[in-house]
Amino acid sequence: MKLATVFSGIGAIEQALRRMCIDYEIVFACDNGDVELNLLENNELEEYTKLKKLRSKKQLKNQDDITRLEFLGKTENELAEKTRAYIQTLPDKLAKKQYVDQLYKNHSRQTNFVKKTYLANYGNHINENDFHLDIRFLDGTDYANENIDLLVGGSPCQAFSAVGAKYGLNDTRGTLFYEFARIVKETQPKVFIYENVRGLTTHENGHTWQVMRDVFENDLNYKIAEPKVLNASDYGIPQSRRRLFVVGIRDDIKCKDFKYPKPVKLQYTMQDFLEDNCAYGHFNYNHNTGDLIVEHFPGHPDSKFTLTPAVQKYVLAGGTANYKTSKETDLPIARTLMKMMTQHHRAGVDNYITVQQEPLVLRQLSDREALRLMGYPDDFQIAVSSMQTLRQAGNSIVVDVMMAVVKQIVKTNVFII
C-alpha cells in the first residue's frame, strides 16, 4: 500500500498497517512536532506571541488587542503565501525541502521530537527526504504521480466566515484545513481518512462542517461517508476517547459503499495495561490477526512517575469554590489521554494509579503505559524523553480505532491488499 500522512504524529496508521500485516511504503509524511514557524519578525513577532498567549488564557478582551491579533495573523498568512509561491519556483522537491528545513533552523531552535520518534519507528518505510516539517510549504504536486492509496490526517477545528462564502476551497484559505484539502487535491489519493474533534459537525452551528463537506464533495470530488464519532473503548482499548472520523473515496473509483465499524466488546481494563501487571515486553499483538496480546506478568514502573506529596495533594483536591471535579483514581477505563498530562491536572481530568494505600501514594501513567492505551505494542521504540513521549501519546490517534476503520475500507474493494 502507498501511504501518505500529514499531521503525522507518531504514526497511528503506520502502526495499524503493521499490526494488520499490510505491507506499506510511506510516500511522504509531514509534522512540525509542535515547533511553530512564524514568519513575523522582531516587534511584530513579540507582540503576536504575547497576544496569542493572552487568547489561549482567555484573557484577550480588549477590542483593540483582538483587532491587532487578527491583523498580525493575516499578515503572517500573507507572508506564508509569498513563501509558498517562492518555494514552488525551486527546481525539485529536495530543494524545496531543504529551503523549508533552513527556514526552521533560522526561525526556531526547538527540536522536532515527533520526527525523532517517527523515524526511529518507521525509518525503514520512508526516505528521510520525504519527511516534511510544514504542511503549508509541502507541494503535493511533487507526489502527483505516486498513485497514493491512502492519505491520513487531520487539522485543528477552525471556523470559516459565512459572509459571502461560496463554500469552496478558496473560502478556507489561511486555515490548516485548507492545507489538508489542498494536499488531497494535489495528490489525488484513492482514499483519505480525516480525523478531528467530536464536536466538528456542531461547531459554529454546523457551518464549519458544511464548508468542509462542500470542499470534499464538490471541489475535490470525493464520496464522503457521513462523519461518525468513534470511541476507543468500543474498539479494544480501555480509554474513553471519542474522535470524529471522515472517510472519503475518490469519485471515479467504483467500489462498495464504506460503512463504519461496529463496536466490539471490551476485553481489558486500564489495570491490564499497567506495568505493575504487565511488565515491559509482555504487551504484544498477534501477527496473524493484529489483536492485542496482554500477558499478566508483574513489573515495576519507574519511580520517577510517582507523585510528590505536594503534587498528590493538588491533584486530589476536589476543585475550587467555582470548580468541582472528581477525586476518583484507578479507573477501569482511562480518562482521555491529553498531550498536557505531564502538567498534572486534577484527578478528575487525568489518570492516576495507587502505588500504596497506607499512607496513600499515587503515580501518573508511565510513558509506556500511555503508549499502550493508544494501541502501541511494546516493540514501539521510545526515542525521546518521557515527557515528550507522553505528549506524543496524548496527541495520537488510537491505533485500534484506525485498524477498525481500515478493515472497513478494505471491504469496499477500493484497493487490493
Tell me the pLDDT of the chain averaged across its residues. 93
When mean pLDDT is compared across 193-207, 343-357, 396-410, the lowest value belongs to 193-207
CA atoms within 13 A on the CB side of 410: 12
Are 256 and 412 in contact by the 8 Å Cβ rule? The answer is yes
Output the pLDDT for position 371.
98
Q: Which backbone phi and psi does 168 adopt, to 5 degrees? A: -115, 180
The three grid cell numbers given for residue 82, joined into one nine-digit string:
509569498
CATH number, domain 299-395: 3.90.120
**Residue 56: pLDDT band with limits 50, 70, 90:** confident
Q: Flag whether pLDDT at 182 surpasses 50.
A: yes
Q: Flag whether pLDDT at 162 surpasses 60.
A: no
**pLDDT one-digit tens code per residue, 216-227:** 999 999 999 999
Output the pLDDT for position 174.
66
Gap between the Cα atoms of 285 and 287, Å rounded: 6
**pLDDT one-digit tens code per residue, 354-404:** 999 999 999 999 999 999 999 999 999 999 999 999 999 999 999 999 999
Output the pLDDT for position 36.
86
CA atoms within 13 A on the CB side of 4: 26
Q: Which one is the CATH code of 2-265+398-411: 3.40.50.150, 2.30.30.30, 3.50.30.10, 1.10.10.10? A: 3.40.50.150
The CB density around residue 19, as the number of other CB atoms within 10 Å, is: 23
User: Given 3-state DSSP classes, what are the helix, strand and coil percentages for the chain, each rounded to the nearest 5?
Assistant: 40, 15, 45
Question: How far is CA 214 from each of CA 169, 185, 194, 310, 318, rounded to the nearest angstrom?
Answer: 9, 14, 15, 52, 45
Are 406 and 312 in contact by the 8 Å Cβ rule? The answer is no
Are 29 and 132 in contact by the 8 Å Cβ rule? The answer is yes
Percent of the chain's residues with pLDDT above 90: 78
**pLDDT one-digit tens code per residue, 316-346:** 997 776 777 889 999 999 999 999 999 999 9
Gap between the Cα atoms of 384 and 390, Å rounded: 10
H/E run at residue 314: helix 309-315
Output the pLDDT for position 71.
93
What is the rounded radius of gyration, in angstroms, for the C-alpha atoms of the chain?
Answer: 22
Q: Which backbone phi and psi does 185 adopt, to 5 degrees? A: -65, -40
Q: Flag whether pLDDT at 72 surpasses 70.
A: yes
Burial of 164 (0-12, 13-18, 19+ CB in 10 A): exposed
3-state secondary structure at position 116: helix
Q: What average pLDDT does range 237-241 have in this prediction?
A: 97
Percent of the chain's residues with pLDDT above 70: 95
Q: Flag whether pLDDT at 163 surpasses 60.
A: no
Q: Flag whether pLDDT at 188 surpasses 60.
A: yes
Output the pLDDT for position 164.
47
**pLDDT one-digit tens code per residue, 75-109:** 998 999 999 999 999 999 999 999 999 999 988 88
Residue ranges of domains in the chain: 2-265+398-411, 299-395
Output the pLDDT for position 52.
87
Question: Can 2-265+398-411 and 299-395 be said to share one CATH topology?
Answer: no
H/E run at residue 87: helix 63-87
The closest of 247, 183, 176 to 27, measured between CA atoms, is 183
When mean pLDDT is compared across 30-44, 132-146, 241-255, the lowest value belongs to 30-44
Are 194 and 246 in contact by the 8 Å Cβ rule? The answer is yes
